[in-house]
Amino acid sequence: MYEALLMQKSLSNQSSFLLLIDRSRILILPCVNPDGREQAHEGLCSSSVGHNNAHGTDLDTDFFYGNASVQPETHAVMDLIHGGKFSLSIVLEGGSLLATYPYDRPKQHAKIPGGVLKGADFSAHTGSMKDFSLDVGVCPEITVYIGCCMFPSEHQLFSLWMENRMPLFRMLLEVHRRLSGVVRDSKGRPVSGAVVVVNGSVSVHADSQGHFTTLVAPGTQQLQVQAHGYQQVLQQVNISSDRVTRPIVIDFTAARAPLSRAVFIIVTASLMSVLICALLIWHLRSAKFSRIRDGVRWLRRKREDLRMEAMASEKSPLREKFLDESESEDDPFFVEEH
């Protein structure tokens, strides 16, 4: 941990920096690609040996969330980013003199005022650690190329540290200018899962203890705090550019969000509409049933009339025949005696 030893030695007599470090959680990851580190040769400034791991994979193109076939080194760093709850990440590289910010993937980068160079403009590629850190870990990450040599020799390390230590600590100071705080209910209990929306665009989720944090630009920030079962809270916060921002406390005053008058009217009107529709359907079905019932009765009467007419039609020819045969003048029963 050469960097940590240099930090402790060079800052041992500077109480302000020690106080800043004491109030910060700093993680130093010396190397993401140990296989490449073993393959590379110290002092070879332009060599690409050691750029990939032992499996021939460029790890900075391997950070795809949900991909089960990522390299072991990638998986370990992804777990670290996802569970670390970091506020800012700085990657130190060699081979150039510039700084890049997200995004590395082409045609999907955000415009960041005052930036140095977009990663996509420098070396466009997908699956970068920088993009993963911002999208999944909600942690802004920048890559700083601090020298033209890809693998500087050991005797150059101290001079590189002295050249870059103040910018690094200024970046650390930015972490303490961040927007942070805790979300509580009316009884002072933390509200886990609360969502803090900053200026209507950036959403930050509170952890199980109700804590949240995010980096924002200096100035006035408009917050919308939302949580299931609670009334939305609106709050305005001013972030200073020259001093540490104290954590804020956001209290939900209402345990449950009451229905507003407009919502009550909408709900009531919806229920009335449903009731009216149900009554109309019932009326139409009843009228239809009555028509069907009347139709069935009419059909029954019509069938009965047709049946009676049919019976009458069947008897009528017999009667005429009977009259023809029995009521003729030649019939002896109707011959008058003289």
Please list, in sequence order, all residues whose beta carbon lies within 8 angstroms of the beta carbon of residue 256, skipping any fewer than 6 positions away.
229, 230, 231
Per the CB < 8 A criterion, the answer to whether 194 and 205 are in contact is: yes
What confidence tier does 174 reach under pLDDT thresholds 50, 70, 90? confident
**What is the C-alpha separation between 7 and 11, in angstroms, rounded?**
6
**What is the C-alpha separation between 312 and 301, in angstroms, rounded?**
17
Q: Which domain holds residue 291?
A: 261-333
- Are 141 and 16 members of one domain? yes
Residue whose structure tokens are 């009334």: 231
What confidence tier does 278 reach under pLDDT thresholds 50, 70, 90? confident
* 215-241 confidence digits (pLDDT tens): 888 889 999 999 988 889 999 998 887
**What is the C-alpha separation between 139 and 96, in angstroms, rounded?**
24
Domain end position, chosen among 175, 194, 216? 175
What does the pLDDT read at residue 244? Answer: 74
Predicted structure pTM score: 0.61
- Closest to 116 measured CA to CA, from 96, 133, 136, 135: 96
CA atoms within 13 A on the CB side of 292: 6
155: tokens are 């005797």
* 127-172 confidence digits (pLDDT tens): 889 888 888 888 889 999 888 888 888 888 889 989 998 888 888 8
The percent of residues above 90 in pLDDT, for the chain, comes to 15
* 304-329 confidence digits (pLDDT tens): 777 777 776 655 554 554 445 444 44
- Are 11 and 118 members of one domain? yes
**What is the C-alpha separation between 209 and 184, in angstroms, rounded?**
9
**What is the C-alpha separation between 213 and 280, in angstroms, rounded?**
55
Say if 57 falls within a structural domain: yes
**What is the C-alpha separation between 217 and 148, in angstroms, rounded?**
31
- Are 154 and 193 members of one domain? no
